[in-house]
Each structure stands twice: as structure tokens, then as C-alpha cells.
């Protein structure tokens, strides 16, 4: 892996495309984090996957360079949160930043009853997106309607809570650890638990402990990122595109086919040299995303595997793998991207 060279102000450095594990502090917006780091990099695209509310802290995946091209695949990662639920208070935002709408007595609550109700929210559950969210209805984010005092009709969504553990109970405070699918609103989960208990509730605190393979223990603060940029060691802290896409199966192609892939041309099934990571020889459903690599193991592109393609009998397939996103160019294949650091 290429490292960032030691430098003087505005010196040229080399920083790979990939994903950076950022530890967002409470009080920062996700956009604030991107803007701060973008100020240190010149000529490199930056983005983030999985917005965290300003009051929340924890893991924020920062997409660097061509990492911005794989955001849709990273959004599929499951997540782990540590949430503080405060029972007996209902707010208009379902979290501690909102206005308290109702206070309810909690004297009758018991830890046993709380544990019983919380257990019922594990598995596939239905959630109504909160009004204070970025979900769009009619092209307008719900939070804009909420700020204007309007209630908008929303559709219930199904999400999955893979695991829901009670870490601590000190009524009215309950600490929850949630492992969940994409699209899960933790503040809505807290509010729904409070409603089920009959006393209301809201999310008092939130820390995102994990997003896919990115953990809070390994996350870097903005100050640490800037320090490593200056020291030339930041590249070692990043996930490569290939590492970030670890969950996608791989097909290997030869040199001639690889050259065509870089121009976005489809890969005939007969030109696939090998497959790795398929759970069955037949693709499971149409439009399955896969990684396309050359014989040296370099990631070239993300492809779309057609429904019913038989990986064990490529000669029997008339289908081709469409190239969805080319991730390298002929000039940059196997290399890194030169950028400047702005002091």
C-alpha cells in the first residue's frame, strides 16, 4: 500500500481511493466532517455513507476519491448502536433535541416489564419514518415539512433488528445496544418502546459503534486524521475499495477482457476464468452485484450478474455480466492518485 509522503505545506502527496473510518463527535453534522477534511485535500472527491444526526456520535464512513462511487453498496452494511432511552417523556423529534410534548408517570414501571417489551422489538419490525428525517415525500424532505409545522402522510417501512440487548436499566433511563439493518431509525425505536410501555419515551443519547467492518475502536477523530495527513501515515488507516466491497462475490477475467472492462464493456460468461465467494453456482436473483478482478487480483469494476447465470458451466451461458461501475482507469490501474494537501 502506498503511503503519504512527508511534506511541506501544499506539497504533493499520494492518497489511495477508499473508505476512512471517522469518529464523529457530538455537535458536528456529517457535512461538517466532510467539509473540514475536504479543506485539507485538493482535487479529491469526498463524501460520506450513512448520515449521523448532529447530536449523535460515532462511526461515520468517509468516502475518498473513487470511494464515492461505491456509496450505494456501503449503505447495505448493518450497524451497531448504543442508545440511551429516556422513558416518561415524549418529544416532537423523538430525541432530546426536541420539545417535550407529554410527560407521563413512570412509578408503575418495572425492569421486568421493560425487558419483556424490549424483547418484542427484536426481528423484523415496522417503523413509521419520523417527521424530523431526510426521507422525501413528493420530493420534499420530511424535516422541512416538520419545521413548517406540517404533518405529512408517510408509508410504514419494514426494517430488521438483528439483536437488541439491554445494557443497563436505571429507570427512567435504559441503555440499549442495537444491531440493525439499513434504514432503521433508533429514535423511532426508542419512541415505539416507550409507547408500548404506555409512558412514552425518546432517544436521549446515541453512539454508532459499528458500520459494517468499521468499528468505533478503530475510528479516527478529525484531529487524528489531520495529524496523520501531515505525518504521511493516513493511507495505512484506510480501507481499499476492494476491502470495502468484501461482501460481494468475485469473478476473475483475463488481460484482454480486463482491458474491455475498463471501457465499460460487458463480460461474456465464457470469458470468466474463475469465481470466488458465490454461495451457489447459480446467481441468486437478478441484478446481483459482483466484483470484477484481473488475474493479478486487482479490482477493476463492479458488475451486475444476470439472473440464472451458472458459474459452474460458463460455456452454457449466453448471458453477459454488465459493467455497472468502472473503478480504475488504464492509467491508474494498480496505482494511487496524486493529490495535494492544503495547509
SS (H, E, C) the chain: CCCCCCCCCCCEEEECCEEEEEEECCCCCHHHHHHHHHCCEECCCEEECCCCCCCCEEEEEEEEHHHHHHHHHHCCCCEEEEEEEEECEEECCCECCCCEEEECCCCCCCHHHHHHHHHCCCEEEEECCCCCCCCEECCEEHHHHHHCCCCCCCCCEEEEEEEEEEEEEECCEEEEEEEECCCCCHHHHHHHHHHHHCCCEEEEEEEEEEECCEEHHHCECHHHHHHHHHHCCHHHHEECHHHHCCCCCEEEECHHHHHHHCCCCCEEHHHEEEEECCCCCECCCCCEEEEEECCCCCEEEEEEECCCCECCCHHHCCCEEEEEEECCCCCCCCCCEEEEECC
- Indicate which residues carry an active-site annotation: 53
Q: By the 8 A CB rule, do 142 and 53 touch?
A: no
Amino acid at each position: 500500500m502506498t503511503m503519504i509522503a512527508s511534506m511541506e505545506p501544499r506539497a504533493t502527496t499520494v492518497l489511495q481511493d477508499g473508505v476512512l473510518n471517522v469518529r464523529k463527535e457530538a455537535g458536528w453534522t456529517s457535512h461538517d466532517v466532510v467539509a473540514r477534511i475536504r479543506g485539507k485535500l485538493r482535487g479529491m472527491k469526498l463524501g460520506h455513507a450513512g448520515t449521523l444526526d448532529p447530536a449523535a456520535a460515532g462511526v461515520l464512513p468517509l468516502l475518498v476519491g473513487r470511494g464515492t462511487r461505491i456509496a450505494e453498496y456501503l449503505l447495505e452494511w448493518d450497524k451497531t448502536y448504543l442508545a440511551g432511552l429516556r422513558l416518561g417523556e415524549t418529544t416532537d423529534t423523538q430525541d432530546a433535541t426536541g420539545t417535550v410534548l407529554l410527560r407521563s408517570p413512570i412509578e408503575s414501571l418495572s425492569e421486568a416489564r421493560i425487558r419483556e417489551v424490549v424483547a418484542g422489538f427484536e426481528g423484523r419490525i415496522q417503523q413509521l419514518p419520523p417527521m424530523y428525517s431526510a426521507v422525501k415525500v413528493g420530493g420534499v424532505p420530511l424535516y422541512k415539512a416538520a419545521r413548517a409545522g406540517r404533518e405529512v402522510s408517510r408509508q410504514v417501512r419494514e426494517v430488521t433488528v438483528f439483536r437488541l440487548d439491554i445494557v443497563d436499566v436505571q429507570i427512567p433511563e435504559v441503555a440499549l445496544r442495537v444491531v440493525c439493518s439499513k434504514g432503521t431509525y433508533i429514535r423511532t425505536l426508542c419512541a415505539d418502546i416507550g409507547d408500548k410501555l404506555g409512558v412514552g419515551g425518546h432517544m436521549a443519547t446515541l453512539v454508532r459503534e459499528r458500520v459494517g467492518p468499521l468499528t468505533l475502536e478503530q475510528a479516527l477523530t478529525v484531529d487524528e486524521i489531520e495529524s496523520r495527513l501531515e505525518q504521511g501515515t493516513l493511507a495505512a488507516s484506510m480501507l481499499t475499495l476492494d476491502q470495502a466491497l468484501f461482501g460481494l462475490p468475485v469473478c476473475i477475467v483475463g488481460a484482454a477482457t480486463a482491458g474491455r472492462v475498463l471501457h465499460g464493456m460487458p463480460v461474456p460468461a465464457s470469458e470468466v476464468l474463475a469465481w470466488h465467494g458465490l454461495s451457489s453456482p447459480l446467481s441468486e436473483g437478478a441484478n446481483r452485484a459482483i466484483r470484477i478482478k484481473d488475474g493479478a487480483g486487482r479490482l477493476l469494476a463492479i458488475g451486475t450478474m444476470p439472473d440464472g447465470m451458472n458459474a459452474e458451466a460458463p460455456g452454457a451461458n449466453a448471458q453477459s455480466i454488465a459493467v455497472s461501475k468502472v473503478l480504475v482507469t488504464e492509467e491508474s490501474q494498480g496505482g494511487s492518485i496524486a493529490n495535494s494537501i492544503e495547509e
